[in-house]
Amino acid sequence: MKRHLLSAADLSRDDAELVLKTAEELRSLADRPIKKLPALRGRTVVNLFFEDSTRTRISFEAAAKRLSADVINFAAKGSSLSKGESLKDTALTLEAMGADAVVVRHSASGAPHRLANSGWVRSSVVNAGDGTHEHPTQALLDAFTMWRHLGSLDGRRVAIVGDVLHSRVARSNALLLRTLGAEVTLVSPPTLLPVGIEGWPVETSYDLDAVLPKADVVMMLRVQRERMHGGFFPTAREYSRRYGLDGRRMATLQDHTIVMHPGPMVRGMEITADVADSDRSVIVEQVTNGVAVRMAVLYLLLGGSQPAVSTEGLPE
């Protein structure tokens, strides 16, 4: 694997499968009474969050702690976008503290690339979501969840539904799922698909009802109500009617099809409560898998080539 995880495109198929297999080994820890490994003892992981995201931050924090790393949470109030301390100075500060890995969440697309490629830090950089660009560990945990339910993703059809234009989850998933052999269809109103999407390795559709019966996975994206004010769609109600997943639409799915959502959900907007809480929904499991996948990523970036779970150091 490369030294940084900035984009899902950084992962070859072998890399991605190694992450998934490692995550599978590490996930078994969750069932043990002592959920901790010594793999990253003495290493320091900094969670550098320029944007609030409690869910992602605690997931990375739990992952690092279960590998015995020291964790520093750095919630930067305001970035250079809001004339606070610059990204560079923050990075130099962390470097001076001896961070081995920096997990960064930032509202500006490409901020993790700048951190990794500008010579400001020597540590590994993990992109925990940058602007409207990418969120590669989310894609990995999504793929891991699909893999556990469906086995190999080769030829599997995945529908990703919602605000593709502003979604880093959609971008990372489109890239990673293609790498793993799945066929991705992005379903969205035309206003919420990026210009030039014809060049992406995906299918697109404006018609959710036509896509659902063929899908093996339906991934609903969060739609922020403020998009309505940007004129991307007329009303929340119209959006829900055309692109929301409700019980009626869920009934058209194949028996084995799973329903996913990266969270946080807006119940009643893109997904109804009965779908979110149904047997098909793997939304809560995605959260559990998130910790395992992030453990795998941190371990592979920092720990090297030894198996993550050795008998040494495990409780008898």
Partner 1 sequence: MTTYLVKNVSVLGAEPTDLLLADGVVKEMGPGLSAESVSSVEPVETIDASGLIALPGLVDLHTHLREPGREDAETVESGTRAAALGGFTAVHAMANTEPVADTAGVVEQVWRLGREAGYCDVYPVGAVTVGLAGERLAELGAMADSAARVRVFSDDGKCVSDAVLMRRALEYVKAFDGVVAQHAQEPRLTEDAQMNEGELSGRLGLAGWPAVAEEAIIARDCLLAAHVGSRLHVCHVSTAGSVEIVRWAKSKGWDVTAEACPHHLLLTDELAATYDPIYKVNPPLRSATDAEALRAGLADGTIDIVATDHAPHPHEDKDCEWAAAAFGMLGLETALSIVQETMVDAGRLDWAGVAERMSYAPARIGRVDDHGRPIEVGAPANVVLYDPAARRTVEAAETASLSRNTPYAGMELPGRVVATFLRGKATVLDGKLT
Catalytic center residues:
55-56, 83, 105, 135
Please select the residue that binds partner 1; options are 117, 152, 278, 310, rule is CB under 8 A: 117
Judged by CB under 8 A, the chain residues 74 through 93 that form the site for partner 1 are 79-81, 86-88
Retrieve residue 78's tokens.
């305001």
DSSP, collapsed to helix, strand or coil, labels residue 149 as: helix
Q: Cβ of residue 289: shortest distance to partner 1, in angstroms?
A: 24
Between 80 and 288, name the residue whose CB sits nearer to partner 1. 80
Is residue 4 a contact point for partner 1 (CB under 8 A)? no
* Shortest separation between residue 74's beta carbon and partner 1, angstroms: 16
Interface with partner 1 includes 268 (CB under 8 A)? no
Report which DSSP code applies to 3. S
Q: Applying CB under 8 A, which of residues 131, 214, 236, 263 lies at the interface with partner 1?
A: 131
Return the number of other C-beta atoms located less than 10 Å from residue 92's C-beta.
13
How many CB atoms are closer than 10 A to CB 229? 8
Which of residues 3, 21, 36, 114 is near partner 1 by CB under 8 A?
114
Options 92-100, 114-122, 176-184, 288-296: segment touching partner 1 (CB under 8 A): 114-122
By the rule CB under 8 A, 73 interacts with partner 1: no
Q: Exposed e or buried b for every residue in 171-204, given b needs 16+ CB within 10 A?
A: bbbbbbbbbbebbbbbbbbeebbbeebeebebeb
Cis peptide before 262 (omega within 30 of 0): no
Which position has the token pair 């066929």?
183
The residue to which tokens 């130099």 are assigned: 92
The nearest distance, CB 37 to partner 1, in angstroms, is: 34
Taking CB under 8 A as the rule, does residue 196 contact partner 1?
A: yes
**Dist. CA 27–CA 12, nearest whole Å:** 22
Structure tokens at 252: 């058209």
Short-list 187, 160, 166, CA closest to 230: 166
Reduced to 3 states (helix: H, G, I; strand: E, B; else coil), residue 89 is helix
Query: CB of 167: closest distance to partner 1 in angstroms?
Result: 9
Does position 224 bind partner 1 by CB under 8 A?
no
Q: What are the residues binding partner 1 (CB under 8 A)?
A: 79-81, 86-88, 106-111, 113-114, 117-118, 130-134, 165, 168, 171, 194-200
